[in-house]
Amino acid sequence: MTSAYMDNNATTRVDPAVLQSILPYFSEYYGNPSSMHSFGGDVGKRLEEARAHLQSLLGAEHDSEVIFTSCGTESDNTAILSALAAQPNRREIITSTVEHPAILSLCDHLERHEGYRVWYIPVDRQGRIDLEAYTAALSDRVAIVSMMYANNETGTIFPIETLARMAKAKGAVFHTDAVQAAGKIPLNLRDSAIDMLSLSGHKLHAPKGVGALYVRRGTRFRPLLRGGHQERGRRAGTENTTGIIALGRAAELALEHLEYENTVVRALRDRLEAGILGCVPHTFVNGDLESRLPNTSSISFEYIEGEAILMLLSRANIAASSGSACTSGSLEPSHVLRAMDIPYTAAHGTIRFSLSRESTEAEVDWVLAQTPPIIEQLRRLSPYWGINGPVSNGTGFAPVYA
Ligand code: PLP
């Protein structure tokens, strides 16, 4: 049976070239990079090569601006907590309503238990940031602005340089969660107002358990983990050598494939979207269609339940998601779709398809062949769907699970 992996925003397959590059560092060169003896071989050198590959992917000025971490979540937490610790007189934070929980739950904690004021900037129906609300929230009381580069559910790309320049004008640190953007769209931190940027290995064909935080030279920094002198004292703990070497190789490959991602992968995603919208009625795409990651498609199938769609897709060997991995599994629509004010009847039936450079025409064909009959079957069972389409209860369409 044919299958299709369309859940690359949740995680990607480790690239075989990445896997090959790290195997000797499990069994032959397993020494600690800080040791004097040679059991580590050239592992210390390989870590620095990895740092240089990250520098290239990010278009950063210096390789010393890259700190290796354990994941995107650690990078996000480190950035915010560092900025707060370095500027104790500034007690406000700005973020958006559509961030990943790695940012939102930390902000919620800081607000409830540490006395910080957090501004959550809203988005419109297309997921675009409200610039007026952002302007109003900015002041010299703000320690850090953290705005995601691209949204994990819809792929919407924020105008990050504009947001960063506005934050800098008020003396605030600007951080961006680029976990979904890194490796998919070009980045050029050399000519940027961004102070800190997070990324995660498993979203770009490296293994899980490694990430990086970019910190611009001159940015005041306070480590999250204190201990040994690893990462120049900015992130203590024996290095995840295999993870870091893998991330370096993955960054190198991502840079080589950027053009492919933005042409071939984009065309595949567009064919998938056009194919579904062309033959399934009462269906629409979420996000900013003018400014979107090339691999992501969030499609709302009105009047049916996303979990049911996922189950039937899964039976057809199609992997997709009904929101971010953290929110799927609950019956509430994701906080991102709610922030965008997508009606309940559509938000509940929203599926995220996310492709990668490994996606194929055959996979798209398989999804296009399987999805329409699945939707038709589920709509036949829906109380809000009649013989000829959606049925009204006289007061408009009642929310299915409100
Ligand atoms: N930020 C965004 C936008 C994400 O999509 C994710 C993961 O889904 C994270 C942060 C967390 O990254 P990690 O899984 O490496 O902790």
Written as one string, the DSSP assignment of 294-355 is TTEEEEEETTS-HHHHHHHHHHTTEE-BSSSTTTBTBSSPPHHHHHTT--HHHHTTEEEEE-
For residue 402, the model assigns a pLDDT of 30
pLDDT value at 120 more than 50: yes
The whole-number average pLDDT for the span 159-185 is 98
Q: Is the CB of 211 under 6 A from ligand 1?
A: yes
- Indicate whether 159 pLDDT > 60: yes
Question: What's the CA angle centered on 77, arms 146 and 191, to 5 degrees?
Answer: 45
Any atom of ligand 1 within 6 Å of the Cβ of 243: no
CA gap 146, 76 in Å, rounded: 9
Complete domains list, the chain, with CATH: 4-11+257-390 (3.90.1150.10), 16-256 (3.40.640.10)
Is residue 336 in contact with ligand 1, taking CB distance under 6 Å? no
383-390: long-range contacts, CB 8 A cutoff, minimum separation 24: 384/303, 384/345, 385/303, 385/304, 389/281, 389/282, 390/282, 390/302, 390/303
Query: Catalytic residue numbers?
Result: 326
Strands of the sheet containing 142-146, edge to edge, are: 66-69, 211-215, 196-200, 173-177, 142-146, 92-96, 117-121
- Whole-structure pTM value: 0.95
User: Residue 139, CB half-sphere, CA atoms under 13 Å: how many?
Assistant: 11
Question: 218: pLDDT confidence band, cut at 50, 70 and 90?
Answer: very high
Torsion of CA 21, 27, 32, 36, to 10 degrees: -100
User: Does the structure show a pLDDT above 80 at 126?
Assistant: yes
Give the residue from 50, 64, 71 showing the smallest Cα distance to 249: 50
* Amino acid letter, residue 27: S
Q: How far is CA 315 from CA 40, 277, 309, 311, 351, in A?
A: 46, 22, 10, 6, 15
Of 107-116, 232-241, 316-325, the one with minimum mean pLDDT is 316-325
Mutate to test the pocket of ligand 1, among 8, 77, 180, 210 (most ligand atoms within 8 A of CB): 180
DSSP assignment letter at 181 = T
- Pocket of ligand 1, candidates 12, 73, 96, 151: which has the most ligand atoms within 8 Å of its Cβ, to mutate? 73
Per-residue pLDDT tens digits for 64-116: 999 999 999 999 999 999 999 999 999 999 999 999 999 999 999 999 999 99
In whole angstroms, give the CA distance from residue 27 to residue 29.
6
**DSSP notation for 233-280:** GTS-S---HHHHHHHHHHHHHHHHTHHHIIIIIHHHHHHHHHHHHHHS
pLDDT in tens, 33-45: 988 888 877 899 9
Q: Is the pLDDT of residue 388 over 50?
A: yes
* β partners of residue 284: 300
User: What whole-number distance in Å separates Cα of residue 18 and Cα of residue 382?
Assistant: 46
Residue 292 forms beta bridges with which residues?
Answer: 156
How is residue 30 written in tokens? 């397993």
For 261, the token pair is 């991602």
Ligand 1 atom closest to residue 102's alpha carbon, by position in its atom list:
10
CA distance 333 to 344: 8
Q: Does ligand 1 have an atom closer than 6 angstroms to the CB of 73?
A: yes
C-alpha–C-alpha distance, residues 100 and 336, integer Å: 9
395: pLDDT strictly greater than 70 = no
Q: What is the mean pLDDT of residues 151-164?
A: 98
